[in-house]
Structure 1
Amino acid sequence: MYRYYTKGVCSKSILMDIQGDILTDVVFEGGCSGNAIGIKHLVEGKNIDEIIEMLEDIPCKNRGTSCPDQLAKALKIYKEYAYEKQQ
């Protein structure tokens, strides 16, 4: 399980289970539970590159980021520092 501490959004962190390049579980700690559950159901079982492409740069209010965008950022960091090292 990987934890990403979010910046600029209501959720405090994102917990992720990733097998290879597939996101198998995601939990947002804090924030709007309805949106977090919706994101969870939409992205679980998908390839991390597909999720990044789908969610990157989605804004929330005037924050310049959002919970979906933070998930994309977390997956990019995972991909750069953990996934690439496994290959």
Structure 2
Amino acid sequence: MYTYIPKGVCSKKIDFDIKDNKITNVNFTGGCSGNLQGISHLVEGLPVEETINRLKGIRCGFKITSCPDQFAKALEELVLKKTDV
């Protein structure tokens, strides 16, 4: 289980797993419950890179980021860490 603390959004924490390069068990703490549950279900089983491509750059109102964008950042950080090892 991975945990990411998002910045600049309403959600306070994102927990998720990656198995065989696919997203599983995504759970946002805080934020817009219905929307974030929907995102969690929609990305379930998607490859990491595809999820990043779909979510990166989404904005929330006038903010420069969003909960989906923060999830993409979490995945990118994880991918970068794995390539650094």
TM-score (norm 1): 0.92
Identity %: 51
Q: CA RMSD in A?
A: 1.3
1:23 equivalenced with 2:23 (yes/no): yes
Secondary structure of 2:60's partner? Answer: coil
Unaligned runs of 5+ residues in structure 1 are none
Provide the residue aligned with 1:65 in structure 2: 65
Shift of 1:20: 3.0
Letter in 2 for 1:6: P
Shift of 1:25: 1.3
Q: Matched residue pairs, number?
A: 85
Shift of 1:61: 1.1
Q: Which 4+ residue blocks in structure 1 deviate beyond 2 angstroms?
A: none
Letter in 1 for 2:2: Y
Letter in 1 for 2:63: R
What is the rounded CA distance, in whole Å, between the counterparts of 1:79 and 1:25 in structure 2? 18
1:74 equivalenced with 2:81 (yes/no): no
Unaligned runs of 5+ residues in structure 2 are none
- In the TM superposition, 1:33-52 aligns within 5 A as 33-52=33-52
Letter in 1 for 2:73: K
Secondary structure of 2:59's partner? Answer: coil
Secondary structure of 1:41's partner? Answer: helix
Letter in 2 for 1:73: K
Q: Per-residue displacement from partner, 1:7-48 (whole Å, max 9, x unpaired)?
A: 000000100111131111100010010011110111010001
